Chains A and B, each alone.
Chain A
Amino acid sequence: MGVIFEQFIHGITTGSAYTLMALGFTMVYGILGIINFAHGELYMIGAYIAYYLCLKLGLHYLLSIPLAMAGVAVLGILIEKIVFRPLRGAPGLSMLTVSLGLSIALLNTALIIFSPDPRIFNSPYNFIFLKLGGINISLQRILVFAIAIGLIISLYFLINRTSLGKAIRATAQDFEVAWMLGINPNRIARYTFIIGSALAAAAGVLIIPILSLEPFVGENAILKAFVVVVVGGFGSIPGAIVAGYLIGFVDSLTAGFFSPNYQNMACFLIMILTLLVKPTGIFGESTEENI
């Protein structure tokens, strides 16, 4: 019984991280039509920023979270302006390829700057435990879930209760018409990237203390984000949330009951299954273009 509960907690933790990743990714896609392969690198860079803030400046872990989010948001603004804006209107494959190039460039820059050696990024909450349901749960896991929920709720308010959110929703519905109605697409693009990048960074800072920190973590994160977004539906925020936790559970349960070696394969099988059964995902709408 305790084992199942433990896996459940692990599933919630991983699911929270995957949801945050997928939310950022799906927003950039849904609003701007951009598939950003480099989203994983944003997650990785966020974790490294927080790591160095805590290590070199001695900042408290909780403080490093918003700072890392801000740092990566700035990077997101730069990326939007330099890499993606020149290609606005280009076929989707150009976007894909350019974000692939960006991902490679960022990954290898990180490899040079940070070296491939894995590091341990310890949050103080890694060492505080709660006894629940007969097992010890580290407070970090609960923190991940709590902050993720907080961010998701904040996102909800941002998208549904602010004028910026309204403008974003309008652009997501129809880019050109929103533009015609006076919504500045550059502003929307910038804010979308700020939000998306910040969410990726948050995912990184929250979950890396439970894993280990090395430049390749972004690769794994983006692969899982793809799976979540396909299962949940490209561009759908509720889809990202539901699928995020679903894939989190699949991931953890596979690692727990079978072997960590099969985690990726299990997630990809779910993705292929979704593509065969309902290609648009749980909450997705089918558009003429892709199916």
Chain B
Amino acid sequence: MDKRSLVKYGLIFLVLVMVPVVRPSDYWMNIIILSGVYVLLGEGLNIIVGVNGQFVVCHAAFYGIGAYLSALLTLRLGLPFWLNLPLAGTLAALVGAGIGYVCNRFRGHYVALVTLSFGVIVYEVMLNWLDLTRGPMGLINIPPPEPVPLGVYTFDFTSRIDYYLLIVVLVALCIASAHRLIRSRIGRALLAIREDDLAAEIQGININKYKIKAFVLGAWWAGIAGSFYAHYAGIIVPGTFSFLTSVEILVIVIVGGLGSIWGVLISAILLTFLPEFLRSIEFLRWIIYGIVLMVMIIFMPTGIAGIGRRIRVPIFWRSTAKEPAN
């Protein structure tokens, strides 16, 4: 590993280790853990929208499907969290594959419309299928993950630190896999499809197959995030998985830079922490989101990654963020 990477990962490791050392209050631990969840969501959506270029606005639906499945499997069938976590990811991925298949025939704004309506349908099902989901009252008393004994320390999830460590592990896995994905054959295919899908098809890339793969990968991480969130928060309601949440995640990806792993990471953390510092103008939050979205698209379409690239920050040198076509 060259010196630059060493410095980079060393810094990150330092920041991560500082957290349990500093012992922030429960309130701030919650924010930190939530930002981790949003990183998972953002990176997942980044694969579909950023790397593959499909405008998908139903990510909250995948998130919710993972959350509800995991919660229901524990509450109704007594299955352990550690089993439900991958199951949630798998179900979300399967649903993602289905939607991806439907969207294969379309491009551009039709994909947006189909995913939009899918998201609304899922939300309405969560709201109206009372026997399964208890509707607007949601699912409560979701138990925390089962304890994991690891030598001297047992992760029993009684304190937030354990959740923090779990989400750090998940985020690390997510970033690492996204990093490898982009540099693999699959990643190159996805990027090619984003830039010009007709040209990609002519080159022999089976665009339908790869577009579905993008959905599967993105939705998988959303499902994982959902499962984690359900057992962390202990309560889930349909409102958490509405269209607005999908928009939130989309904003994270766009602000980060479509296709940039590090940009989305920074953006997710930033956009989770920022509302805390702007508490006094909390009521303006969504207006600011809307304006930020508009301004970003008009003036800075490449997001944080683009800025990073321009001012030559090293992480962004080989960024795969999408440049606006001119």
Residues on A with C-beta less than 8 A from B110 are 230, 275, 279, 290-291
Of B111-119, B143-151, B157-165, B211-219, the segment with at least 4 beta carbons within 8 Å of chain A is B111-119
CB atoms of A98 and B294 under 8 A apart = yes
- Complex contacts, B116 vs chain A, CB 8 Å: 223, 226
**Which residues of A77-94 have CB atoms within 8 Å of chain B's CB atoms?**
83, 86-87, 90-94
- Contact, CB under 8 Å: B283 / A112: yes
Q: Is the CB of A105 within 8 A of B291?
A: yes
Instruction: Chain B residues near A117: list those with CB within 8 A.
Output: none
Task: State which of A83, A261, A262, A271 has its C-beta within 8 Å of the C-beta of B117.
Answer: A271
> In the complex, which of the residues B121, B284, B285, B294 has the most CB atoms of chain A within 10 Å of its own CB atom?
B294
In chain A, positions 114-162 with a C-beta closer than 8 Å to chain B are none
| Most chain B beta carbons < 10 A, residue from A97, A111, A289 | A97
- By a CB distance below 8 angstroms, the chain A residues around B254 are 97
Contacts of B291 in A (CB 8 A): 101, 105
Q: Which residue of B lies closest to A89 (CB)?
A: B326
Q: Is the CB of A94 within 8 A of B297?
A: yes
Alpha-carbon distance A103/B110, docked complex (angstroms):
19
Where chain A touches its partner, the secondary structure class is helix
Q: Does A104 contact B (CB under 8 A)?
A: yes
Contact A93 B108 (CB under 8 A): yes
Please, which residues of chain B bring their CB within 8 A of the CB of A87?
297-298
CB < 8 Å neighbour of A98 from B107, B109, B120, B293 = B293
How many residues of A sit at the interface, in one of the four size bands? 35 or more
Q: Is the Cβ of B55 less than 8 Å from the Cβ of A101?
A: no
Inter-chain CA distance A87–B325, complex, in Å, is: 12
Cβ contacts under 8 Å, A272 to chain B = 102, 114, 117
CB distance from A44 to the nearest CB of B (A): 15
A177 within 8 Å of B (CB atoms):
no
| CB neighbours of A275 from chain B (8 A) | 102, 105-106, 110, 114
- In the complex, whether A108 has a CB less than 8 A from a CB of chain B is yes
- A102: Cβ under 8 A from any B Cβ: yes
CB distance from B41 to the nearest CB of A (A): 17
A264 near B297: Cβ-Cβ < 8 Å = no
**List of A residues within 8 angstroms of B284 by Cβ:** 108, 112
Q: Which residues of B contact A53 (CB under 8 A)?
A: none
- Indicate if the CB atoms of B106 and A290 lie closer than 8 Å: yes
Q: Which of B113, B124, B301 contacts A230 (CB 8 A)?
A: B113
Interface residues in chain A, defined as those with a beta carbon under 8 Å from any beta carbon in chain B: 35, 83, 86-87, 90-94, 96-98, 100-109, 111-112, 223, 226-227, 230, 261-262, 264-265, 268, 271-272, 275-276, 279, 289-291
Q: List 27 A-B contacts (CB under 8 A).
A: A87-B297, A91-B324, A92-B108, A94-B297, A94-B301, A97-B254, A98-B294, A98-B298, A100-B247, A101-B291, A101-B293, A102-B290, A102-B294, A104-B293, A105-B286, A105-B290, A105-B291, A108-B287, A112-B287, A226-B116, A230-B110, A265-B125, A268-B120, A271-B113, A271-B117, A275-B105, A290-B106
